[in-house]
Amino acid sequence: MPNVFLVGAGPGDPGLLTLRAKEIIETCDVMIYDYLANADFLKWCRPDCEILYVGKKGGDHTLPQDKINELIVDKARSGKTICRLKGGDPYVFGRGGEEAEELVEAGIDFEVVPGITAGVAAAAYAGIPVTHRDHTTSVCFITGHEDPTKGESGHNWAVYGQSSSTLVFYMGVGNLPMIAENLMRNGRAADTPVALVRWGTRCNQQSFVSTLENVAADAAERGFKAPSIIIVGGVCSLHDKLGWFEKKPLLGQGVVVTRAREQASGLVEILRGHGACVYEFPTIAVEHLDDYAEVETAILQLARYQWVVFTSVNGVKFFWEQLSAIGLDSRIFGGMQIAAIGPATADELKARGIIPDFVPDKYVAEHVVEGLLALGIQGQDVLIPRARVAREVLPEELKKAGCRVTVLPVYETRLVQQSGEEITAALDKGAIQYVTFTSSSTVENFFELVPAETLRRYPDVRLASIGPVTSATLARFGFTPSIEPGDYTIPGLVDALVGSVAPDKG
């Protein structure tokens, strides 16, 4: 088996990474990655993985290519599994061929994992098919930045200028005036459509269409810099008609997700689906208890309860984990009624064969109690599996109604981040427009890491709260959320956030 993998990371959108690439990232001993490889992929590395950055950006080389080659060979000779992660495809202007040759000379086995190249993906995300029967039947990929040590140029400008192919230039924005001039001098019409796509497929993608004679001046006026793809040809005229990605309502909007990492994936994916630049900043971690003896006892005595009230998805998961550990299943709930505080919690129960008897219309404790009282819970025995630390409103109100309430901790939460420096740095750059809060604990822990006084320095940053309880916690720190959905759910929060930004996008 090879122990070196030359892996294409794709153009940047995490959804465009191949399954094989993800498998290698998750299992490698050493990760050697480039500037254009999405750093978000590093979260899939094992905790003990050695991570080395060797990126090259506009002439600023962390390591020159020959030293990168030596590094790969040295690490491979140690017997470790190496993932050499490169933006796009390793063999499309990625210098993967040079690295492969070094490995062959060193007698080291390797495998190439192709990636989606930016020349196709960035164009597609900008509404430009690189081939189209009404415009062209061929495409040519060209480097816009040749090896300066070569004796002569490898470009045949006469062929490029007279060709009807779509021309896609990589790494060429710095040489854009020269590229346009050479194409026009060799036969391409001055009014030929030309598109530039910067940071293609990523949440900060930008694109525009000009003409060959005007594109250099237009790019300079717009401040277009690397990394940008240059596309030349009639297919660029389809940009406005077929463009889809840049119509996403949250494109370019920086959104902080403070939810626990175990729960955040759904919210992160929904936000990314709307084009947001998501900053994952989980302020809490959900963890097992040190001792589950009390939980086991409660499960074995479950028959004495008339109601079990689950207040969260985690409550369901951790309770069922212990249920399974002692060889029991959903049949143990026979004869009793079950409440789920929210649709996500209800779905988690349904996945385990339990259809809740009660799901409130609004997901705050005060409203829940009102609904349970309407169902005759007064005076009954109630079990509430939940976090060790949580709001006491629900059990206290049920006790006032004469219920005999047992609060059963089945998991606990703790502060997980060590520092708020990453978020503060992004705030300083103006990269964050929204901070989302999905519970009181995310508010409290966020301000533990990013002091309230720090956040006050950025009055344009809008706070999004999932509901009134979370908003009340924000108020304790002196903040009023700009966004609070009427439906206190994750989809409701996202819809409210999208609705808040849509008018600004016209």
Q: Catalytic residue numbers? A: 34, 56, 171
Main-chain phi, psi angles of 12, to 5 degrees: 140, -40
Buried-state track 176-212, b at ≥16 Cβ within 10 A, e below 16: beebbebbeeeebeeebbbbbbbbbbbbebbbbbbeb
Taken in order 442, 448, 450, 451, the sign of the CA dihedral is positive
Closest residue by Cα to residue 285 from 412, 386, 157: 412
Residues whose CB is less than 8 angstroms from the CB of residue 74 and which lie 6 or more positions away in sequence, other chains included: none
Report the DSSP beta bridge partners of residue 280. Answer: 257
Q: What is the DSSP letter of 40?
A: G
Say how many residues make up the chain.
506
Contact assessment for residue 144 and residue 171, using Cβ atoms and an 8 Å cutoff: yes
User: Half-sphere exposure (CA, 13 Å, Cβ side) for 118?
Assistant: 32
Identity of the residue numbered 459: P
Give the β-pairing of 166-170 and 228-232.
antiparallel
Query: Cα angle vertex 168, ends 176, 245, to 5°?
Result: 100
Buried b (16+ CB within 10 A) or exposed e, 413-422: beebbeebee
- C-alpha–C-alpha distance, residues 246 and 314, integer Å: 36
The two structure tokens encoding residue 63? 């390591």
Q: Reduced to 3 states, what is the DSSP secondary structure of residue 23?
A: helix
Instruction: Check: CB of residue 210 under 8 Å from CB of residue 233.
Output: no
- Please report how the helices 96-105 and 65-77 are oriented relative to each other, as an axis angle in degrees rounded to 10: 50
What's the token pair of residue 259? Answer: 């939810």
List the Cα angle 92/227/4 in 5-degree steps.
Answer: 40
Strand partners, 310: 340
Report how far residue 73's alpha carbon sits from residue 315's, in angstroms, rounded to the nearest whole number: 49
CA-based nearest residue to 4, from 80, 95, 94, 114: 80
- Distance (Å, rounded) from C-alpha 486 to C-alpha 495? 10
- Token representation of residue 27: 């299992």
Q: Within a 13 Å sphere around the CA of 178, how many CA atoms are in the beta-carbon half? A: 9
- Residue 461 DSSP code: P
- Measured from the Cβ of residue 369, the count of other Cβ atoms closer than 10 Å reads 21
